Amino acid sequence: MAEKTGAMGGVIETVKTVVYALLIAGAFRTILFQPFWIPSGSMKDTLLIGDFLFVNKMAYGYSYASCPSILIPALNVDIGADDFCGVFKGKTERLFGSEPERGDVVVFRHPVTGRDFIKRLIGLPGDRIQMKDGLLYLNDEAVKIEDNGIFTEVYAPQGPEQSMPACANGPVGPGADCIKERSSETLPNGVTHDILNIGNRSLDNTGVYTVPADNFFFMGDNRDNSTDSRVPQTLNGVGFVPREDIVGRADRVIFSSAGRSMLAFWTWRSDRFFKGIE
């Protein structure tokens, strides 16, 4: 009997340990940092497919979007932040809130689907934004832009989704160099970052977007391969992003893999480990 009691006690202690670990991990993810894996090429060459980073949730304070979401398609599990913290949805004020800055790389909840997106913050409330021939205008002034050579990658399937890159010199064959024009763009507050250009695309020329109060305007650095605020808010478009949908700021790449799995160590990009995001 003593042995059975001891065995049961061991099981109970193991269960308690697992529960405590899950609670600590949940608190860590909810309050401090959220892991994020880059699934697409919309932020090249600042972020590459397969980059892994932690999102700083303390940067802008907390809203309903700070609560974790759980998506496991194989198990048909799809729990969004509003399922955990929906009672706080609709509030424009953020707990311990601070203002995002133009040029920050930000993770936010898609206003329609609730999925996590990562883009660069371009427009603040009240800003007027327009694209003319691929050049960004902020409040009727063109931003400073300088040529920065080319960005070259191999034309091959990338990441877990095995997506193929778009090329300015395309179409090219498998294994060939896929080239994009690269420029350095400097925003009015002095933030400089690279942008990529593939060619003439429909979003190179737009109307004027005026950012509403308590909303923000985001764009991908891979300008011709990014679904962002230039596309109206739908299942496939982002539109203006409400303040409450912001999750946090991306500051640093922790790990990076060019393969389908992070376990494929021969595809690791060690030069990107702990790389700061600019």
Return the active site residues.
42, 119
**135 Cβ contact list (under 8 Å, min separation 6):** 142, 143, 145
Burial class (CB in 10 A: 0-12, 13-18, 19+), 132: exposed
3-state secondary structure of 204: helix
Amino acid at 71: L
Query: Any idea how long the chain is?
Result: 278
Please give the Cα distance from 123 to 145 (Å, whole number): 17
Task: Quickly list DSSP for 125-184.
Answer: TT-EEEEETTEEEETTEEPEEEEEEEEEEESS-BTTTTBPPP-TT-S--TTSEEEEEEEE
